[in-house]
């Protein structure tokens, strides 16, 4: 018989507060067209993107995260000292070690919170949310900060017609805390590594360091293959997330998919047969694809504009490089 005492965590967890940060520089499609042969109409029709935000030298991964986190902590009505864990999802922090989460935890003023980074691409926020929920239910932390942050402008090849217009920068954060009732559903997540070549970094850092390639590594993708996978396979994952949460599309108030491409969003809405009453996040139009940051940024904007309200039931799903995915149903803070 085990001598280990049972955990004293909360029976459930919930999102308590949300915050976002978008860089000050707004980049319209006209700027992108300076380096690729395309048109504003083509970019909008293919992606829905009109503008995106690009960070300046001061708007680092850490700096943007701290701004977004401060808003989320204030929104949750707690202090930084109460944060017991900081989880950062990013693919664009260029220091291999230490984790940027440790710097963020310190500068926010947490009391030596557990802090670590994860790399799960555009599904990273869902991965982090699931880990935070587990920490709270298990009892290793009372409040956990989950951050999705990217400076994808650093990994964008402005001469690549397939991707130059897609990516933006920003940070989104949520505080996850204890709950007396279910407010974060079971997560449906996974990976399809056999398709990992469809979204990838062009070359390893070591090839650039050794001089084998002169061009700085960037993100590239096979657009049509990614589109088909996202539209057909991720709709199935979204439906499964509804099923395991014990609800149907008719019970939803809000749909917050990864802001990859508006055509993908429209196709998922159609496949899921979402009622017209469901508010659909379309932050991609003015923020672009911010990978791990896209879901919390979209959530923050919907709440700030009043398009969504506290207590709404929302389906969130992220999907991207790996290919990885994560979907769950949450109650909005």
**Scanning the structure block, which residue is given the tokens 């449906």?**
188
Q: Tokens in use for 22?
A: 């978008």
Q: Is the peptide bond before 98 cis (omega within 30 degrees of 0)?
A: yes
CA angle 289, 292, 319 (to 5 degrees): 80
* CA neighbor of 132 nearest in space, from 218, 9, 24: 9
Please give the Cα distance from 299 to 279 (Å, whole number). 11
Give the DSSP H/E element, type plus range, for residue 74.
helix 61-76
Active site residue 111: no
d(CA 76, CA 175): 7
CB 141 within 8 A of CB 135: yes
Contact by Cβ (8 Å): 316, 281: no
Q: Which of 29, 93, 122, 261 is catalytic?
A: 122
- DSSP notation for 194-255: GGGGGEEESS-HHHHHHTS--SPP-EEE-HHHHHHIIIIIHHHHHHHHHHHHT--GGG-SEE
Which letter, b or e, does each residue of 245-281 get, where b requires 16 or more Cβ atoms within 10 Å of its Cβ? beeebeebbbbbbbbbbbbbbebbbeebebeeebbbb
Does 261 participate in catalysis according to the annotation? no
Q: Which of 53, 93, 258, 261 is catalytic?
A: 258
Please say if 289 is a catalytic residue: yes
State whether residue 303 is helix, strand or coil.
helix
> Which residues form the catalytic set?
122, 258, 289
């Amino acid at each position: 018989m085990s001598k280990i005492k049972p955990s004293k965590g909360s029976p459930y967890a919930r999102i308590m507060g949300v915050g976002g940060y978008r860089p000050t520089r707004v980049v319209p499609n006209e700027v992108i067209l300076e380096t690729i042969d395309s048109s504003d109409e083509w970019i909008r029709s293919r992606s829905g993107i009109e503008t995106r935000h690009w960070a300046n030298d001061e708007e680092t991964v850490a700096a943007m995260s701290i701004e977004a986190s401060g808003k989320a902590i204030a929104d949750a009505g707690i202090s930084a000292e109460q944060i017991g864990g900081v989880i950062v999802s990013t693919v664009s922090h260029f220091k291999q070690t230490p984790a940027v989460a440790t710097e963020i935890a310190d500068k926010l003023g947490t009391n030596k919170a557990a802090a670590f980074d994860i790399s799960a691409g555009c599904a990273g926020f869902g991965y982090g949310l699931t880990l935070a929920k587990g920490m709270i239910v298990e009892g290793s932390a009372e409040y956990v900060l989950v951050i999705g942050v990217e400076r994808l402008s650093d990994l964008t090849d402005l001469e690549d017609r397939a991707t130059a217009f897609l990516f933006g920068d920003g940070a989104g954060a949520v505080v996850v805390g204890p709950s007396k009732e279910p407010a974060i559903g079971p997560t449906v997540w996974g990976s399809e590594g056999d398709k990992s070549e469809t979204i990838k970094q062009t070359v390893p850092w070591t090839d650039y360091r050794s001089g084998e390639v002169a061009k700085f590594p960037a993100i590239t993708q096979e657009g049509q293959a990614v589109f088909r996978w996202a539209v057909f396979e991720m709709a199935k994952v979204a439906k499964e997330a509804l099923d395991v949460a014990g609800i149907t599309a008719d019970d939803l108030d809000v749909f917050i998919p990864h802001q990859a491409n508006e055509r993908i969003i429209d196709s998922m809405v159609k496949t899921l047969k979402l009622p017209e009453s469901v508010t659909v996040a379309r932050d991609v139009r003015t923020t672009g694809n911010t990978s791990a940051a896209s879901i919390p940024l979209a959530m923050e904007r919907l709440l700030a504009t009043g398009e969504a309200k506290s207590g709404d039931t929302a389906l969130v799903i992220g999907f991207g490089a790996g290919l990885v995915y994560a979907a769950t149903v949450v109650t909005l803070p």
